[in-house]
Amino acid sequence: MSEPTGAAEDAASLIFNLPDYRVTGTVLLPDGARHVTVETTFPPGCPSCGVIASRVKERRCQRLRDIPVAGRVVLLWNKRRWFCDEYLCERKSFCEATPQVPRRARSTRRLRPTVLDAVITSGRAVSETALAFGISWWLVHQVIGDAALRLPVP
């Protein structure tokens, strides 16, 4: 019997639909929210020299804000710090970053347009939208302010 050798996506990762991430575990909390634990499938390249890393230095769990998926979600990212194996590179280690969660980000990129769309289409107050998404009101206010700055001058 032959089996495929490539990495197939599992059902949880397909349903969660966060590009470049794989769901490694979920836990249903008593309040109905879900802890969803993910790790990246994005190749870890050094930001300074671009060499693809192969050795993990350390791991840590980072909490991210994300859109609700079948209810409230607490997203936990098993983030890795990698060694840069290029001996000429000044950077000896670096943390993972992806297009969906760039460096120093505390929320996914898909959260902002979803929150903005919720405020615009529903006409709800900032505080009500923040409560619905389980985020702070100032984040919703900042999203609206950033969108207003990108509007063309009349």
Among the listed residues 72, 136, 147, the one whose alpha carbon sits nearest the alpha carbon of residue 106: 136
Amino acid at residue number 139: L
Percent of the chain with pLDDT over 90: 21
Among the listed residues 53, 51, 77, 78, the one whose alpha carbon sits nearest the alpha carbon of residue 65: 77
Structure confidence by residue, pLDDT tens digits, 95-109: 998 889 988 889 898
Q: Tell me, what's the pLDDT at 5?
A: 47
Q: Tell me, what's the pLDDT at 9?
A: 65
Q: What is the mean pLDDT of residues 143-147?
A: 89
Task: Kindly tell me if the per-residue pLDDT of 1 is higher than 70.
Answer: no
Between CA 135 and CA 119 the distance in angstroms is 13
Report yes or no on whether pTM surpasses 0.85: no
Percent of the chain with pLDDT over 70: 94
DSSP alpha helix (H) spans, 57-136? 111-122, 126-133
Task: Kindly tell me if the per-residue pLDDT of 56 is higher than 70.
Answer: yes
Q: What phi and psi, each to the nearest 5 degrees, are found at residue 11?
A: -65, -40
Q: What is the mean pLDDT of the chain?
A: 86
